[in-house]
Amino acid sequence: MHPYSLRRLTWAGPIATIMAIVANIVYYAATKALGEQYLMPLDGTASRLVPMPVLMPVIEILFIGLAAIIFFGLLVRFARKPATVFLSVTITALILSFGGSFSLPVATLQTKILLSGMNVIVAVFITGGILLLSRKSAKVP
């Protein structure tokens, strides 16, 4: 039997998601303070660049966190080695997320790299938080 608890996942997942949101807001504020504008085409055309609102990554992180919680919960219930499968899928998703950041038309390379940094922060906090916090406690004989 694997060392993960669905009961612990019910609070570990939301805590990991909140930690990812806080870390991303700090990262966003720090990079904005250093001069990053986060200008991107948000209206569907590449002709007008507008600053990315702080609420945009927060909403995306909430959806990513919810998807990760549900996915890991299913793995804990049905997979023999849930952590191995979860890590494989999350690393693949992180690598694929770089394509979204780097495919933004007319955004600067600096913006694309900083957006990829946000993806890394989310992956580390949500994946690590879920895996570490949802472990069953060790029983002392």
Note the pLDDT tens digit of each residue in 58-93: 999 999 999 999 999 999 999 999 999 999 999 999
pLDDT of residue 93: 95
The answer for residues whose C-beta is within 8 angstroms of residue 129's C-beta and 6 or more apart is: 12, 13, 15, 16, 17, 19, 20
Please list the alpha-helical segments (H only) found in the chain.
Answer: 6-33, 55-78, 82-102, 109-133
Q: Where are the domains of the chain?
A: 6-133
- The pLDDT mean for the chain works out to 90
Specify the pTM: 0.89
Q: How far apart are CA 105 and CA 83, in angstroms?
A: 36
Can you tell me which residue has the tokens 């913006």?
A: 111
Q: Confirm if 5 and 136 have CB atoms less than 8 A apart.
A: yes
pLDDT of residue 131: 94
Q: What is the DSSP annotation of 109-129?
A: HHHHHHHHHHHHHHHHHHHHH
